[in-house]
Amino acid sequence: MKPTRRSFLRGAAAAGVGAAAGGGAARASGDPAFAELQPWMQELGDPVDAAPYGMPSEFEAHVQRKTVYWLTADPISSINFTPLHELDGIITPNGLCFERHHAGAAHVDPALHRLMINGLVDRELVFTMEDLLRFPRENHVYFLECAANSGMEWRGAQLNGCQFTHGMIHNVMYTGIPLRLLLAEAGVQTAGKWLLAEGADASGMTRSIPMEKALDDCLVAFKMNGEALRVEQGYPLRLVVPGWEGNMWVKWLRRLEVGDQPWHHREETSKYTDLLADGSARRFTWEMDAKSVITNPSPQAPLTHGPGPTVLTGLAWSGRGTIPRVDVTLDGGKNWHKARMSGPSLTKSLHRFYFEFDWNGQPLLLQSRAHDSTGYVQPTKDQLRAVRGTNSIYHNNGIQTWHVSKTGEAENVEIS
C-alpha cells in the first residue's frame, strides 16, 4: 500500500496532476501563474511596521474557529472549535485555540489580579503577578481537551467536520510555575488532601483536584507559545492540569483552597459525570483516554486532486502518556496499516501522524486507532457504548469514521 517513488510518478502522470507531485515539471513551464509577471513582482511590498503584531496572510482568512449555533442557548456560555483540518504539526496557534466559557471571556487587568492560597495551609498567601514572576518556571507542551469533545457523536454520527467532532482540543507550550512550589510556599498541612481551584470570571468556576495531582505536574501558567495567555485562555493566569479534562484547567485563576475532601460542586456532580445504563454515574473521570482523528481528508477537507498520490494525516493523544503508534484503515477496518509518526513525541501532548497512499479513486472508509504508552488501544464507539450505555456525553474517545466518495467528498459516518 505504501507508494514507491515509481508509483508516485505514475500516479501523478495518470491523474494529470501538476508540478507538486514530481511528475509535472514540464507542464509547469507553460503555467501562466509562473510564466507571467504577478503584481507582487512589480511593486514594493509593505513596510516593516505595517503590522506591529503580525497576522496570517489574507489568503488564510477562512482559517477560523467556528461555533455551532444550535449547540448552546447563547454565545456567552458557549463553545467554539479549533479548525484541526487547517493545521499541521502539533502546535495550535494561539488565535485558533477553541474557547469554552461558562460566563464569557473575562478581561482581567493583571495589575489588579491576585492569586490566593488559603484553607489547610500554614500561611495563607496572596500573590500579585509580580510576585509570581519570582518563582522558578518551566516549559511544557500539553493538550487541553474538553471532556465534552465528541459528545454530540455519542449516539451516532452528527457533525460534519473534524473541527466540530474533535475540535474542542488545543496543544500549546505553557510557561508556568510548578504548582507544588506555590503550595510549598504556603505550607500544605497533613490533612490537606484536596485543592479547590477558582476562576475570577463571573461563572465562579470551581473544581476539586486531588493533592497528589497538584503536587505532580500541574502548572500555574502565564504564557502560551511564548506570549502572554490570550484573554480567551484565561489571561493573565490559568491552571494547567496535564492529561486531565479541560474543565479542571481553571482560567483567570484567582484562588486555590486546600481542604481535606472534595467539594462536590456543580462541575463535578451534575456536570462532567457520566450516567450509566444502571442509573449510577461515573464521576471524577479526570484522565483523558487515548484518542485520534484523521484531520485530512475529512468533511471540511475533501480530496480535490483525483486518484493517485494522497496524503492522509491526523492527530493522536493520550492523557496517560505518549502515542507510540497509530493504525490507519482505508476500508473500514478490514486492513490496518501503521501510520508514520512525525514530530516530537511528548507526554500528554498531541502527536502528528501521516499515511501516504495511492488512491485508486474508489470510495474509502477512513479510520485511525491510537495506541498509547500504557498499551491502551482506542476503542470503537460500539465497544464504548457496550460499557457506558447511551446516556453519556463526556469522554467519547471512540474511533471516528469518514466516508470518502469517488468524487473525493468526505462525510461523517458510523460503522462500528
Q: Would you tell me which residues interact with Co ion (CB under 5 A)? A: 100, 146, 246-247
In the list 17, 87, 108, 146, the residue contacting ligand MTE (rule: CB under 6 A) is: 146
Q: Which is nearer to ligand MTE, 246 or 314 (CB)?
A: 246
Q: Which is nearer to Co ion, 146 or 366 (CB)?
A: 146
Choose the one of ligand MTE, Co ion, none that binds residue 359, judging by a C-beta under 5 to 8 angstroms depending on kind. none
Closest separation in Å from C-beta 144 to Co ion: 9
Sheet holding 364-371, edge to edge: 337-338, 325-329, 364-371, 401-404, 410-413
136, 144, 247, 133: which is closest to 199 by C-alpha?
247
- Considering only the stretches 46-54, 154-162, 248-256, 333-341, report the one whose residues sit in contact with ligand MTE under the rule CB under 6 A: 248-256
Choose the one of Co ion, ligand MTE, none that binds residue 213, judging by a C-beta under 5 to 8 angstroms depending on kind. none
Show the cell assigned to 393.
456525553
Q: Which is nearer to ligand MTE, 11 or 246 (CB)?
A: 246
- Considering only the stretches 150-158, 201-209, 293-301, 360-368, report the one whose residues sit in contact with ligand MTE under the rule CB under 6 A: 201-209
Residues 63-102 that bind ligand MTE (CB under 6 A): 97-102
Closest separation in Å from C-beta 121 to ligand MTE: 22
Measured CA to CA in angstroms, residue 43 lies from 40, 49, 58, 147 at distances of: 6, 18, 18, 51
Q: Which is nearer to ligand MTE, 213 or 371 (CB)?
A: 213
Residue 316 contacts ligand MTE per CB under 6 A: no
Q: Which is nearer to Co ion, 65 or 403 (CB)?
A: 65
Q: Residues 107, 231: contact at Cβ < 8 Å?
A: yes
In the list 96, 132, 179, 201, the residue contacting ligand MTE (rule: CB under 6 A) is: 201
In the list 161, 192, 246, 319, the residue contacting ligand MTE (rule: CB under 6 A) is: 246
Strand partners, 373: none
Peptide bond into 309 cis (omega under 30): no
Instruction: Tell me the number of residues near ligand MTE by CB under 6 A.
Output: 21
- Considering only the stretches 108-116, 195-203, 314-322, 400-408, report the one whose residues sit in contact with ligand MTE under the rule CB under 6 A: 195-203
Which residue shows C-alpha cell 468556576?
Answer: 205
Backbone Cα Rg of the chain: 24
Q: Which is nearer to ligand MTE, 1 or 76 (CB)?
A: 76
* 408, amino acid identity: G
Closest separation in Å from C-beta 102 to Co ion: 9
Choose the one of Co ion, ligand MTE, none that binds residue 251, judging by a C-beta under 5 to 8 angstroms depending on kind. ligand MTE
Q: Provide CB contacts within 8 A for 32, sequence distance 6+.
A: none
Choose the one of ligand MTE, Co ion, none that binds residue 207, judging by a C-beta under 5 to 8 angstroms depending on kind. none
Closest separation in Å from C-beta 64 to ligand MTE: 15
Q: Which is nearer to Co ion, 146 or 293 (CB)?
A: 146
In the list 175, 203, 322, 329, the residue contacting ligand MTE (rule: CB under 6 A) is: 203
Closest separation in Å from C-beta 342 to Co ion: 29
217, 219, 249, 253: which is closest to 235 by C-alpha?
253
Interface characters, 36-55, with ligand MTE (x: CB under 6 A): --------------------
Closest separation in Å from C-beta 372 to ligand MTE: 21
Choose the one of ligand MTE, Co ion, none that binds residue 371, judging by a C-beta under 5 to 8 angstroms depending on kind. none
Mind spelling out the 3-state secondary structure of 344-358? CCCCCCCEEEEEEEE
Which residues contact ligand MTE (rule: CB under 6 A)?
97-102, 144, 146, 170, 199, 201, 203, 205, 232-233, 246-247, 249-252
